[in-house]
Amino acid sequence: MVDETKPRTIVHRRGNLYTHMAAEHAVLDELLGKAAAGSDIGGEAYQAFRERLLRHIRIEERILFAMAEQRRGAALPMAARLRLDHGALAALLMLPPADHALRAIRAVLDAHNPLEEAEGGVYEQCERLGASEINELLARIAATPRVPVSSWVDSPKVFGAARRALARAGHDPALLDQPDRRCG
Ligand SMILES: [Fe+2]
Ligand SMILES: [Fe+2]
């Protein structure tokens, strides 16, 4: 409970790293919106989204979470949860761009991105922990190559793997069960 008798000090730790990563979320949102709009003939927007999201995840896990763990001597408290979401997203990205798959991806990102962008969230924690090497971190992020993504697969096996990955990350696997509803 908040002690109203004490002034609350809000320390903002949002600099170039936070801004860059949050802007990536906005670009990904836009690409996912295009993929879900029904005009994504040939799945070009979906393919761009898949590559960009996998690169974004790689940056978070290999650069930011790794740096934070090294600095703290232990993983960020939220890292395990975020990695499970990343696993679910990677599994969902193997599915064809049908409405139910896009809707499930949207639902995971809607729960996931605020944990990274929130006041005191993972991006602010990384900005603070990496403050002395921020330019080097930004350079490594910029130098992260495109992640090659294999073609999506329309198979019960891949669908089952995506359902299990959703459940493992604490999301409702039934997100994938209503193929008649449009991704909003
Ligand atoms: Fe993430
Ligand atoms: Fe992210």
Q: What's the per-residue H, E or C state across the chain?
A: CCCCCCCCCCCCCCCHHHHHHHHHHHHHHHHHHHHHCCCCHHHHHHHHHHHHHHHHHHHHHHHHHHHHHHHHCCCCCCHHHHHHHHHHHHHHCCCCCCHHHHHHHHHHHHHHHHHHHCCCCHHHHHHHHCHHHHHHHHHHHHHCCCCCCCCCCCCHHHHHHHHHHHHHCCCCHHHHCCCCCCCC
Q: What is the model's pLDDT at position 162?
A: 97
Look at residue 10 and tell me if it is in a domain: no
Look at residue 11 and tell me if it is in a domain: no
Q: What is the model's pLDDT at position 3?
A: 55
- How far, in Å, is the centroid of ligand 1 from the Cα of 116? 7
Look at residue 123 and tell me if it is in a domain: yes
The residue segments making up the domain with residue 99 are: 16-173
Collect residues with CB below 5 Å from ion ligand 2. Answer: 116
Look at residue 103 and tell me if it is in a domain: yes
Q: What is the model's pLDDT at position 89?
A: 98
Look at residue 4 and tell me if it is in a domain: no
- How far, in Å, is the centroid of ligand 2 from the Cα of 3? 32
- How far, in Å, is the centroid of ligand 1 from the Cα of 100? 21
Is-contact 92 165, C-beta < 8 A? yes
Look at residue 180 and tell me if it is in a domain: no
- How far, in Å, is the centroid of ligand 2 from the Cα of 115? 9
Look at residue 155 and tell me if it is in a domain: yes
- How far, in Å, is the centroid of ligand 1 from the Cα of 3? 32
- How far, in Å, is the centroid of ligand 1 from the Cα of 4? 34
Find the ligand nearest to 78 CA.
1
Find the ligand nearest to 89 CA.
1
Q: What is the model's pLDDT at position 11?
A: 53
- How far, in Å, is the centroid of ligand 2 from the Cα of 119? 14
Find the ligand nearest to 22 CA.
2
Domain count along the chain: 1
- How far, in Å, is the centroid of ligand 1 from the Cα of 76? 13
- How far, in Å, is the centroid of ligand 1 from the Cα of 89? 9
Per-residue pLDDT of the chain (184 residues; tens, 9 = 90+): 545 555 555 455 789 999 999 999 999 999 999 999 877 777 889 999 999 999 999 999 999 999 999 999 999 999 999 999 999 999 999 999 999 999 999 999 999 999 999 999 999 999 999 999 999 999 999 999 999 999 999 999 999 999 999 999 999 999 998 555 444 4
Look at residue 9 and tell me if it is in a domain: no
Find the ligand nearest to 21 CA.
2
